[in-house]
């Protein structure tokens, strides 16, 4: 019996499990159709989702219907803007809702969203993008007609980002990382909703940031009257960072806006409330902090929020004779007085004003005071402020737990008054800005995470009407010292409007080391993320200024530049150099060009002028010149040159030779050649024996060189060695592989003693008729291991052919003359018969052929053999051989 019951129960269990798997397949399309009906028939927006899923296991015994990647996109006048996007939207309902007829409403008991974004926008006309419900004035829908009925018992929002922007008031509110849940019976007309909320709040108004990622926590019980759309705070506990607040009152929704009647205050008056306002990362634990005095926040908001009005409100923040001391720190902050009010008395947002009537505190003997007033906040904010006092920066970290890797030091003094409006700041109407006073910093020292220290001995800023002057700035860092003065043209535009920082400055230095001002960002190495290459230094995008500079010495890499002067223009992440001059390598270099870090890879574009620079020094110490022309130690003398080049820069701001493009025009002066120091010249001298390269004169030699894609191209140029003409041209790579051609125009006398012996047998007139012999050399391989080939045998053959032709002509002429004499001698007196003589070259050649061939063959063989046995010691003198 028991066995039968067990089998029946097992069968029922199996049937139930099968049903739980099977039912979703039968009802999924029905629910999807109802959801789609709502989306298409009730909402004037573009809506889509990627997938719908029905499950009876996820929230058993209830059913769960989930939409993945739900997106609602606005139509005009917000065409294309995303109103809502949910990674996941889940609706929970009773299983019995699945069996209802398609025309019966389906009751939803719970809602959950995950990874969502909600964008609420108002344009300049006050129209909001959230009103997307289709209007039907002829039909009033009842609950029985609705395909879905919301009988919510609980809901949850997991990681939502809420963004609000009003184009007319320029108010931007962001609630980030919202975690919110609520529980209550929405079937009742009046219910208590228990909620828990955490988020981070950011608030901007007209480009001015008032709150940034301020942590907000609210646990509240709200009494909700659904018929009146009224929400009343019954029990609540709020934290702004660690500052506690309590709320009282209600918010009621109306057709033209919302009605507010709220009061709020700090539950206690302890000065720890003030420390709680600060972010937890900076305020640390407040439990053991000793405080005196009080700190309170009291306020109210009452009235309607509509398209044209806001509730009237008054927020008072006050502290009297406060002090605090952290247990692990040696200093305390005393005599803290704070009196601030944020008030709106009319309900018009622009009439809001902020009064900082007093802010004062004391650390040791240093007292600091400030006050300010801000009016006309939304249209054209007017700021009237005063700062006066002294702060020892070293005491800040001794009195307050600031997380610093390296301690600060220095004395900051301020005595400044200023009055300005934001429109004048934005439009750079400096004449409307009223400044007076000074601000100074002395003895300042800061060390960054890389161990680089900046020491400011004196910095003095003078605030004049419509202008902020940097009167003095003396600092050292590493091996560098600098003294800067100048004018900041839009200090407030940079400070309040995120504008560029404009100015004109003058810099003087005894010594500047470029490496002292270069920073790299090297991501940390971990087991999962191996170390990446360091990123190149970035030129700040906010800088738009000019700098006239003079430095006695500038250290760059391994170079020492003297008497450096010039002008730098910094704008759009680019430094443009104008008329930069320096003395180096025994001469001078002038530079115009630019460096840009705007792209992913830094780039440069330079024009260089080299005047009388020493070849040995420049081609040894400049890597670029080494690659363009590896002549260091081979040619001594001076170089005058213009170089135009552009390309990419490496992370240490050296040229990336693979990307280099440009050209060089150069002229040598007072040069001498050390051929023995060059493998190429030694090989060339050994291959062409009549050349003595130590005697080549490169004075006034002009050369044109271009380079691109890692290759140097040398335009053919002419040089003269004694009375030999030569033309050299070709190319080589930055990898030192080469391909050069040398074309020599060689007089015959240089081709050996046998050649000179044959030439000596010619008459001076015939010797002058000999053409110069072309000799070509091809240089390949690389500069360390060159391969040189010549056409010397062809040159010898060409000379032989010339001598053969000259001998033939002489023999023909001589044979013709002798034959005529013989015939005329044997002719009888009175014989007038004309004798036809072999006067043509061909006829005479036939008669003397054997003799000529025999003689020329012998001489040609001697010439060729002698040419290749010729030694340098037999090189003829430059005078013409008779």
The 10s digit of each residue's pLDDT in 255-269 is 888 899 999 999 988
Q: What does DSSP assign to residue 695? A: G
Rounded Cα gap, residues 770 and 753, in angstroms: 16
44 to 40, 72, 79, 134: CA distances (angstroms): 8, 10, 12, 6
DSSP reduced 3-state for 18: helix
444 close to 410: Cβ distance less than 8 angstroms: yes
Note the pLDDT of residue 253: 87
**HSE (CB half, 13 Å, CA atoms) of 872?**
10
Rounded Cα gap, residues 301 and 575, in angstroms: 52
Q: Nearest 5°: CA angle at 472, between 467 and 477?
A: 130
Rounded Cα gap, residues 259 and 247, in angstroms: 16
Q: How far is CA 235 from the centre of its chain?
A: 52
Q: What does DSSP assign to residue 134? A: P
Q: Count CB-CB contacts under 10 A for residue 653.
A: 17
Closest listed residue to residue 236, CA positions, set 197, 291, 288: 197
Note the pLDDT of residue 527: 47
853 close to 860: Cβ distance less than 8 angstroms: no
Q: Count CB-CB contacts under 10 A for residue 769.
A: 12
Phi, psi angle pair for 182, to nearest 5°: -145, 150
Rounded Cα gap, residues 489 and 45, in angstroms: 48
Q: What does DSSP assign to residue 61? A: T
DSSP element (H, E) containing 598: none
Rounded Cα gap, residues 312 and 302, in angstroms: 5
Q: Nearest 5°: CA angle at 742, between 741 and 745?
A: 145
- Note the helical H segments in 585-696: 615-621, 623-628, 679-687
Per the confidence metrics, is the pTM higher than 0.75? no
Quick one: CA torsion of 46, 49, 50, 53, rounded to 10 degrees?
-160
Rounded Cα gap, residues 299 and 239, in angstroms: 16
- Note the helical H segments in 656-742: 679-687
Note the pLDDT of residue 879: 40
Q: Which residues pair with 119 in a beta bridge?
A: 163
Per the structure block, which two tokens stand in for 838? 């072999």
Residue showing tokens 């044959």: 758
Rounded Cα gap, residues 453 and 455, in angstroms: 6
DSSP per-residue codes, 237-300: EEEETTEEEEEEEEEEEETTEEEEEEEEE-S--BTHHHHHHS-HHHH---TT-EEEEEEEEEEE
Per the structure block, which two tokens stand in for 873? 């010691």
**What's the burial of 219, exposed, middle or buried (CB within 10 Å: 0-12/13-18/19+)?**
middle
Q: Count CB-CB contacts under 10 A for residue 346.
A: 13
Rg for the chain, CA atoms, rounded: 47
Rounded Cα gap, residues 871 and 603, in angstroms: 54
27 to 16, 68, 579, 665: CA distances (angstroms): 16, 18, 80, 83
Buried residues in 297-336 as b, exposed as e (16+ CB within 10 A): bebbbebbbbeeebbbbebbbbbeebbbbbeebebbbbeb
Note the pLDDT of residue 811: 64
Quick one: CA torsion of 400, 401, 402, 406, rounded to 10 degrees?
110
Per the structure block, which two tokens stand in for 450? 């890389």
Per the structure block, which two tokens stand in for 72? 């609602």
301 close to 233: Cβ distance less than 8 angstroms: no
Note the pLDDT of residue 524: 47
DSSP per-residue codes, 831-876: --PPP----SHHHHHHHHHHHHHHHHHHHHHHHHHHHHT--GGGPP
Strand-pair category, 543-556 with 501-513: parallel
Note the pLDDT of residue 862: 58
Strand-pair category, 312-325 with 333-344: antiparallel
**What's the burial of 360, exposed, middle or buried (CB within 10 Å: 0-12/13-18/19+)?**
middle
Per the structure block, which two tokens stand in for 206? 């007209």
As averages over each run of 10 residues, the pLDDT of the chain (882 residues) reads: 46 42 51 63 79 70 81 88 90 70 71 91 85 63 52 86 87 91 85 92 78 87 89 89 89 88 91 78 72 92 90 94 90 94 94 94 93 91 94 90 79 93 83 90 84 89 86 92 90 78 92 75 47 63 90 85 92 91 92 89 90 87 80 81 89 82 86 79 80 75 86 87 84 88 82 66 67 83 87 72 68 58 56 52 52 54 53 42 32
Note the pLDDT of residue 696: 76
Residue showing tokens 């023909």: 812
37 close to 70: Cβ distance less than 8 angstroms: no
Note the pLDDT of residue 504: 93
Per the structure block, which two tokens stand in for 737? 């592989």
Per the structure block, which two tokens stand in for 255? 């057709």
Q: Domain extents for the chain?
A: 687-702+713-821+838-882
Q: Nearest 5°: CA angle at 58, between 52 and 59?
A: 115
Quick: pLDDT tens for 486-517.
998 878 778 777 788 888 999 999 998 877 87
Rounded Cα gap, residues 334 and 388, in angstroms: 17
Buried residues in 221-253 as b, exposed as e (16+ CB within 10 A): ebbbeeeeebbbbeebebebbbbbbebeebbbe
């Amino acid at each position: 019996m028991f066995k039968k019951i067990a089998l029946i129960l097992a069968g029922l269990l199996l049937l139930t499990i099968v049903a739980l798997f099977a039912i979703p397949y039968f009802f999924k399309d029905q629910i999807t159709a109802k959801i789609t009906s709502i989306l298409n028939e009730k909402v004037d927006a573009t809506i889509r989702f990627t997938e719908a899923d029905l499950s009876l296991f996820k929230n058993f015994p209830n059913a769960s219907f989930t939409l993945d990647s739900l997106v609602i996109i606005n139509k005009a006048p917000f065409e294309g803007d995303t109103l809502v996007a949910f990674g996941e939207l889940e609706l929970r309902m009773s299983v019995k809702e699945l069996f209802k007829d398609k025309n019966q409403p389906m009751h939803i008991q719970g809602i959950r969203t995950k990874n969502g974004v909600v964008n609420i926008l108002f344009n300049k006309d006050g129209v909001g993008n959230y009103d997307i419900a289709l209007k039907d004035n002829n039909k009033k829908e009842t609950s029985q007609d609705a395909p879905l009925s919301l009988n919510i018992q609980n809901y949850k929002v997991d990681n939502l980002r809420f963004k609000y922007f009003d184009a007319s008031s320029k108010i931007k509110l962001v609630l980030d990382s919202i975690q919110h849940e609520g529980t209550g019976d929405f079937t009742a007309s009046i219910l208590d909703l228990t909620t828990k909320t955490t988020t981070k709040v950011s608030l901007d108004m007209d480009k001015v940031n008032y709150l940034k990622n301020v942590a907000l926590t609210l646990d509240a019980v709200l009494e909700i009257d659904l018929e009146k759309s009224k929400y009343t705070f019954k029990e609540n506990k709020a934290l702004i960072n660690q500052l506690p607040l309590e709320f009282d009152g209600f918010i009621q929704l109306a057709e033209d806006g919302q009605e507010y009647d709220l009061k709020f205050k700090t539950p206690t008056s302890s000065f720890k409330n003030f420390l709680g306002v600060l972010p937890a990362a900076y305020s640390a634990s407040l439990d053991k902090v000793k405080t005196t005095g009080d700190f309170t926040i009291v306020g109210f908001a009452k009235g309607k929020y509509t398209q044209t009005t806001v509730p009237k409100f008054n927020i008072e923040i006050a502290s009297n004779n406060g002090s605090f001391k952290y247990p692990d720190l040696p200093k305390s902050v005393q005599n803290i007085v704070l009196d601030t009010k944020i008030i709106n008395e009319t309900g018009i947002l622009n009439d809001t004003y902020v009064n900082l009537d007093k802010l004062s505190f004391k650390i040791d003997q240093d007292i600091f005071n400030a006050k300010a007033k801000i009016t006309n906040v939304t249209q054209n904010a007017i700021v009237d402020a005063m700062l006066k006092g002294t702060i020892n920066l070293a005491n800040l970290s001794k009195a307050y737990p600031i997380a610093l890797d390296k301690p600060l030091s220095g004395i900051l003094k301020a005595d400044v008054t200023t009055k300005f409006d934001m429109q004048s700041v934005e439009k750079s109407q400096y004449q409307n800005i009223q400044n007076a006073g000074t601000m100074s910093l002395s003895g300042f020292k800061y060390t960054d995470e890389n161990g680089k220290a900046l020491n400011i001995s004196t910095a003095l800023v003078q605030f004049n009407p419509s202008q902020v002057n940097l009167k003095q700035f003396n600092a050292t860092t590493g091996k560098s010292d600098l003294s800067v003065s100048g004018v900041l043209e839009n200090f407030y535009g940079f400070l309040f409007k995120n504008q560029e920082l404009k100015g004109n400055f003058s810099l003087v230095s005894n010594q500047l080391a470029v490496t002292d001002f270069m920073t790299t960002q090297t991501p940390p190495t971990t087991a999962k993320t191996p170390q990446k290459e360091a990123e190149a230094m970035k030129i700040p995008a906010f800088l738009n200024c000019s700098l006239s500079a003079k430095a006695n010495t500038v250290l760059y890499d391994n170079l020492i530049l003297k008497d450096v002067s010039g002008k730098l223009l910094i704008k759009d992440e680019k430094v443009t150099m104008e008329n930069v001059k320096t003395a180096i390598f025994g001469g001078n270099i002038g530079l115009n060009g630019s460096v840009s870090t705007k792209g992913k890879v830094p780039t440069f574009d330079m024009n260089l002028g080299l005047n009388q620079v020493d070849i040995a020094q420049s081609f040894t110490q400049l890597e670029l010149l080494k690659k363009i022309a590896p002549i260091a130690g081979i040619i001594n003398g001076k170089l005058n040159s213009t170089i135009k080049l552009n390309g990419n820069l490496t992370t240490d701001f050296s040229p990336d030779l693979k990307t280099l493009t440009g050209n060089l025009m150069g002229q040598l002066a007072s040069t001498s050649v050390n051929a023995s120091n060059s493998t190429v010249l030694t090989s060339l001298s050994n291959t062409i024996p009549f050349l003595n390269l130590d005697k080549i004169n490169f004075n006034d030699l002009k050369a044109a060189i271009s380079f691109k894609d890692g290759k140097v191209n040398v335009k053919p140029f002419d040089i003269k060695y004694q009375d030999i003409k030569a033309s050299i041209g070709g190319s080589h790579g930055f990898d030192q592989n080469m391909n050069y051609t040398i074309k020599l125009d060689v007089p015959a006398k240089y081709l050996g003693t046998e050649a000179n012996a044959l030439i000596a047998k010619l008459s001076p007139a015939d010797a002058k008729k000999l053409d110069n012999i072309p000799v070509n050399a091809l240089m390949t391989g690389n500069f360390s291991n060159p391969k040189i080939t010549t056409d010397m045998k062809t040159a010898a053959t060409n000379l032989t052919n010339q001598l053969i032709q000259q001998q033939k002509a002489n023999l023909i002429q001589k044979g013709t003359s002798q034959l005529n004499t013989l015939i005329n001698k044997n002719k009888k007196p009175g014989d007038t018969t004309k004798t036809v003589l072999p006067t043509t070259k061909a006829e005479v050649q036939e008669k003397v052929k054997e003799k000529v061939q025999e003689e020329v063959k012998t001489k040609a063989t001697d010439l060729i053999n002698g040419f290749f046995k010729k030694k340098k010691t037999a090189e003829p003198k430059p005078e013409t051989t008779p």
